[in-house]
A and B are shown apart, each in its own frame.
Chain A
């Protein structure tokens, strides 16, 4: 139930009860005053009536006195002839009567003798034809019987007349001595109490009841108001207001009061309801409305009411509560959306943002660029300086990045937006939206690179970092978020491959490469081994110039992809775990070819196979190879296992033990590509290895700078460790000579022979040619071989 309604429901009964009691009180007092007023009125009216009747009584007595003392009355009593009386005396008597002249109503005077005959009758009234006479004969008779000679009476209320009767002796005009005398005459004067009558009629109209009591009786206790009053010698009057009249008046009063009560209740109710609504429920509802609008919209503001009442306080309380909630919400949101370290958007938000921006761009026909940023060598920095410094570095970088990506910066040219995110440890991304100029992404990338121009000064170290940035743009480079991200990622890898502090735009070529990698991966997964073949490259003993062995090189001539170089497919094979099958295949086939090679090049001929360094991670390889050795499929004493130096350092203990076990089986272990990787000297000391193969580029650079003594000392170091040294990439006779002079044990390179298949290798011309490199052979006969770029075994990324 709403507050307003509840207030209304509470007010109404209280109001009703209150007014009901008040009006009941008013009614009671009205009733009391009405009754007392009516009582007073009755008293007054009764007094008035009595006075009026008294007046007529006096009048009647006056008439009687005047009449009975007039000369004409004597004449009347003297005269006996009726005609004479009528003609001569009546007129005089009438004059006597008329002379008093006080009366406005009917008057009659009669003279009745002892025998009851009317001797004189006078009547005055409106109608001269009214005959009177003989009235009150019984009264006269009763008076004579009782010996009463003077009497006053009132005839009643219906025809109110005051009657005065006087009985005298005809001759003496005194009260008769003997009531039975024939000479008595009664003079009867009747006065119509017209005003009294009129008053009674008025009172009757006013619903009062007037009654005439011959004797003054005690007033009886009846409902209503009643009073009795004695009137002179005549009797008593009673005036009464029936209870019904009082009730009627009170009913009217009740109706008015009830109406007023209802009206006042209704009006008070309306006013109170309005006031409560205006000053209590409305502010609350407004507050509630404010609150509900936040909850639904999440934004808005509480109108803090500056009143000192509870609602003001409540609204302040709510406002502060809301502020707390809003802060909490923002913190939570930031935690959900932002990276804790850099305050940039996190990967989840980044995914969302890129989706959203692409949708917007699709709808608006605008452009989006994604810059994928990788901090070069961050892992190294972390390792070197510790995580604290790494984190600080990332944070500083993020701050600088945000700073250079300020919206409104001239590089953005107009209404463009951007947002930056941290995707993983050292990976960042910037989304650019709404730019016009296609050059903007490039400018941004350059600006970002410039951020790292100066070294980062952290609390504990001065660190130089560089970035690799890949850029992909919508709509030209990708159509959906996944594609855009992968395109930028690809571009970033390209940049990274191109060296430090580079940015790279995604290109068709890049896409092509990427697709080719995917293709290779797919083909490798269901490899047709018939497409594989082995080519061999001779390794010469530096001192003698004899062929000491061959390095078996895997070739893949795919039906769908054509020639796929190992640089391309070996990393893919390693990434999908297909390397083991390949290694098995190489080892098996090299072992199979070995007898034939020994047959043609001598029984001491060895074969080298490259195995993936990942083989050193598991016992499995060791077990398999052990079985193959035990069964005589492989002859380890003629086999070198070449491992790139870039094997996983952190697993060096397992690798070491596996290397040791392989050696124990009879294999020689070579470290391949030495000079460009990160193989530490400690490893060289600790590992059970037999040979070191100097990397082709290393050899090339050293020789190009005529620093052959580097190689010499390296060879000395290896000799001290009893490692044999093989120099790869020998391309010229000078190189061969220099390397020989530097003390290298073995030489290998295109100078001698490009890799060739087994068939070709055992052909007599080839055998002949290789034997020509013996120290005694003429050097001019050595024909240099062209070497394809793709043969660079170490070119693939780590």
Chain B
């Protein structure tokens, strides 16, 4: 299904949803623990209706097409949160509205801007099959130039920033670079890699199909995805590694859409999720790193030790969060991604 059609179908079904006593959350799959949702619904009496996306661009396209209409809440990355807020898509969050903000680690507290609240953070890395990949991939090269046995068994992610990230980092460049020359080099790397790539769909989307999932040895993924994959495959085959060249630290934020009619309830839900116990429960269930300092203390030490969840300090030192890109850069990267995928599809 092309994103465009998704958007159209969403537009068609939205009026039915609006009437219900519920909050519609536009989010990634497997990104909200069921027990946390149950707790909320029990407390508030308001149901959470999740609508999923599997890529930032797709999310943005839907939001642009609808203006956010039909959604009450959205999980959005930190960069997008600021742009959407600036364009009036997001509802402003009053300073007092989310009291639990104070539990957030100071390091992350303002990374989503004023109109969004940090939700989870993580690293971009490589999800891999333990049983098929001899040792944990410690370089982006493992993905970009896979060993012969892994050819056509690699999955990348169609994303203007993250698709280029392994190439830029392996070339020694800043993954947010706006330098056309560097981007061109990265493009060339991706073009070379393209023949070894099985798919550019997000690994979690692809993994829904068992036959496709079984054909994957390595995938560009986000920390925490390995648990979803293990769950889907009902095994412990998958693990997650962050290459030594460093990576991007992502931050997902919770925001309320400006066109929502249930802004208050939505704000309350955000506050609920930011409450340390809930955040801890959510993080424990999803095995994703939480920016909530208070919640962190509630978590098991072994979980905190899991480098697949919390990358070690060395890697973190070499990594950083995303910066906002110029529109030219966004457009160029978008074209690069499309060109790579067109190449792939032409095959």
Contact = CB atoms under 8 A, between A and B. Distances in A.
A169 B275 CA distance: 50
A78 to B, nearest CB: 8
A83 B187 contact: no
A592 interface: no
A79 B331 contact: no
A91 B86 contact: no
A92 B65 contact: yes
Contacts of B4: 92, 95-96, 99
Q: Which has the most chain A C-beta neighbours within 10 Å: B60, B331, B334?
A: B331
Given A75-B64, A82-B327, A129-B184, A90 B2 contact: no
A94 B57 CA distance: 11
A88 B327 contact: no
B196 to A, nearest CB: 20
B331 A86 contact: yes
Contacts of B65: 71-72, 75, 92
Nearest to A123: B335
A113 to B, nearest CB: 15
B330 interface: yes
A90 B331 contact: yes
Contact of A90 (B7, B67, B334, B336): B334
A79 B338 CA distance: 23
Given A124-B338, A128-B339, A87 B332 contact: no
A186 interface: no
A88 B60 contact: yes
B64 A92 contact: yes
B9 interface: no
Interface in B95-109: none
B3 A84 contact: no
B135 interface: no
Contact of B64 (A72, A121, A124): A72
B332 A92 contact: no
20 contacts: A71-B65, A81-B86, A81-B87, A83-B86, A83-B324, A84-B87, A84-B89, A86-B328, A86-B334, A88-B61, A88-B63, A88-B83, A90-B334, A92-B7, A92-B64, A99-B2, A124-B338, A127-B339, A128-B187, A129-B187
Contacts of B255: none
Contacts of B330: 83, 86-87, 90
Nearest to A79: B87
Contacts of B324: 83
Given A83-B327, A91-B334, 8 more contacts: A71-B65, A72-B65, A83-B324, A90-B330, A92-B61, A95-B2, A121-B331, A124-B335
Interface string A66-110: 000001100100011111111111111011101100000000000
Nearest first, the 3 A-B pairs at minimum CB distance are A88-B64, A86-B327, A128-B335
A84 B86 contact: yes
A87 B65 CA distance: 12
A126 interface: yes
A668 to B, nearest CB: 174
Contacts of A82: 327
Given A72-B64, A81-B86, A87-B330, A129 B180 contact: yes
Contact of B83 (A83, A98, A123): A83
B340 to A, nearest CB: 8
Contacts of A81: 83, 86-87
Nearest to A128: B335
Nearest to B328: A86
A83 B326 contact: yes
B168 interface: no
Contacts of B183: 129
B296 interface: no
A546 to B, nearest CB: 186
B299 interface: no
A121 B335 CA distance: 11
A71 B63 CA distance: 12
Nearest to B4: A95
Given A88-B64, A95-B3, A128 B83 contact: no
A95 B327 contact: no
B300 to A, nearest CB: 38
Contacts of B86: 81, 83-84
B87 to A, nearest CB: 4
Interface string A119-136: 001011011110000000
- Tell me if A's interface is mostly helix, strand, loop or mixed: helix
A80 to B, nearest CB: 8
Given A91-B61, A92-B61, A124-B338, A85 B327 contact: yes
B84 interface: yes
Contacts of B249: none
Interface in A56-71: 71
Contact of A91 (B57, B187, B327): B57
A79 B87 CA distance: 8
A128 B3 contact: no
B338 A87 contact: no
B80 interface: yes
Interface in A367-415: none
B153 to A, nearest CB: 26
Contacts of A124: 335, 338
A261 to B, nearest CB: 55
Contacts of A91: 3, 57-58, 60-61, 64, 334
Interface string A449-476: 0000000000000000000000000000
A95 B60 CA distance: 12
Nearest to A99: B4
A88 B84 contact: yes
A787 to B, nearest CB: 168
B175 to A, nearest CB: 17
B67 A128 contact: no
A76 to B, nearest CB: 9
Interface string B164-203: 0000000000000000100110010000000000000000
Interface string A478-518: 00000000000000000000000000000000000000000
Interface in A247-275: none
A119 to B, nearest CB: 11
Contacts of B184: 129
Nearest to B79: A87
A90 B83 CA distance: 14
Contacts of B2: 95, 98-99
B61 A95 contact: yes
Contact of B60 (A87, A98, A99, A126): A87
Contacts of A84: 64, 83-84, 86-87, 89
Nearest to B335: A128
Contacts of A80: 87
Interface in B241-274: none
Given A81-B86, A96-B4, A128 B61 contact: no
A257 B64 CA distance: 74
Contacts of B80: 87
Q: Which has the most chain B C-beta neighbours within 10 Å: A71, A75, A87, A124?
A: A87
A398 B3 CA distance: 147
Contacts of A129: 180, 183-184, 187, 332, 335-336
Interface in B1-21: 2-4, 7
A427 B108 CA distance: 174
Contacts of B57: 91
Contacts of A127: 339
Contacts of B87: 79-81, 84, 88
A91 B60 CA distance: 8
B82 to A, nearest CB: 9
A83 B329 CA distance: 9
A127 B187 CA distance: 10
A89 B326 contact: no
Contacts of A99: 2, 4
B22 to A, nearest CB: 25
A95 B326 CA distance: 21
A129 B327 CA distance: 14
Q: Which has the most chain B C-beta neighbours within 10 Å: A71, A91, A98, A126?
A: A91
